[in-house]
Structures are given as C-alpha cells and as structure tokens.
Amino acid sequence: MPRTPPRKAFEDVTFLEAQVVSYKMDNGDGGMWKMTFYVDEVGDADWLFHCYPRQVVVIGVKALDYDNPGDAITTEGEKTLKRASMLCRQHQFQKYIKEFCPDENWGVGMQEQACVAGLHSLLSIKSRKELLSNGAAIKEFDQLVKNFQAWLKTVI
C-alpha cells in the first residue's frame, strides 16, 4: 500500500531548520538545491516520514540570521535557544567550544554533538531547552557568544 502524506501536510505549516548543502544552477531547468533538515523534535513534521525518497513537496523558505532570529520568535529564551542550536552547527563555534571542553568526543562526524555536550557543561544545563526559561543560563550564553565573537577577531 503506498504511503501518502496525511491531510494536515497540505493544510498546516511545518517549521524545520535546514542547511543548504549544495546547489547547481542551470539555464535549462533553473537548477537544483540540496538541503539537510535538522529535526530536534519532529512535532508537526511527522508527515515527512510518509514521503518516499524523491517525492516532490513544496517548501517555503525563509533565511534566518542567528544574530537576528526574527519576529516569529518572541521571547529572549526562544531567541537564545535558536541561536545556540545554529551556533552548535557552525565549525568556528565548534572549534571555540573544543578549547574549553577537549574531553568531549570530537571524532569525525561528532563535532555538533560534542559542541552541544560542551555547551551543556559550560552553561551547567542538561538540555538546550533550559535556555527557554533559565535566566542565568541565558546570561552565561550571551557572555559566551560575546567571548566567541572576540575570539573570532583573533583567529585568522
């Protein structure tokens, strides 16, 4: 029996974070973009599990700057959580965190997970979701980001 996306896939908006992996532009067909989606919590995106590989879906895209996450995120905690998630995927931030947490498992393909674990250790939290409501962790994270930005200026 073929898998078909449920009705809610056509009616409700699903929010996911994605990263452009590659693109190829072509005058004939316009080109192709390949994206990797990061799903911390599947939530209302569970309909994607019903899609076969190469099934065509229409997706709206909005660029998100981790310094200015946008109006959709309303609280300071939500902005901080989004920023932490995006920074943990950034290679330079991973290198910065590795300086403070060299004992994490920084093996090939494990950099993001090691960065998250290091962030947990540095902020004394068990989950990034604590950044939604933990004021002390938010302040510590903001200071960590300021230090990271200063560090970036010294690393060439």
Would residue 36 count as lying in a domain?
yes
CB 119, CB 88: distance < 8 Å: yes
**Averaged pLDDT of the chain:** 79
The arithmetic mean of pLDDT across residues 126-146, rounded, is: 90
**Same-domain pairing of 42 and 104:** no
Q: Which residues contact 79 (CB under 8 A, 6 or more apart)?
A: 69, 73
**Same-domain pairing of 90 and 147:** yes
Say which residue, 62 or 90, is predicted with more confidence: 90
Would residue 61 count as lying in a domain?
no
Would residue 145 count as lying in a domain?
yes
Q: In this predicted structure, what is the pLDDT of residue 97?
A: 92
- Judged against a pLDDT cut of 70, whether residue 1 lies above it is answered with no
**Same-domain pairing of 40 and 88:** no
- Judged against a pLDDT cut of 70, whether residue 72 lies above it is answered with no
**Same-domain pairing of 36 and 81:** no
Rounded CA-CA distance 118/144 in Å is 12
pTM of the model: 0.54
- Judged against a pLDDT cut of 70, whether residue 61 lies above it is answered with no
Would residue 59 count as lying in a domain?
no
Tens digit of each residue's pLDDT (9 = 90 or more) over 24-53: 877 766 777 777 776 655 566 777 777 777
Which helix (H) or strand (E) element contains residue 32? strand 32-38
Parent domain of 17: 8-50
Would residue 117 count as lying in a domain?
yes
The arithmetic mean of pLDDT across residues 138-147, rounded, is: 93
At residue 68 the predicted structure's pLDDT band, cuts being 50, 70 and 90, is: low
Say which residue, 95 or 20, is predicted with more confidence: 95
- Judged against a pLDDT cut of 60, whether residue 14 lies above it is answered with yes
Share of the chain above pLDDT 70, in %: 72
**Same-domain pairing of 85 and 141:** yes
Would residue 100 count as lying in a domain?
yes
If 0-12 CB within 10 Å is exposed, 13-18 middle and 19+ buried, where does residue 107 land?
exposed
Q: In this predicted structure, what is the pLDDT of residue 69?
A: 57
Lowest-pLDDT choice from 16-25, 38-47, 51-60, 98-107: 38-47
Q: What are the φ/ψ torsions at residue 33 (nearest 5 degrees)?
A: -115, 135
Number of domains in the chain: 2
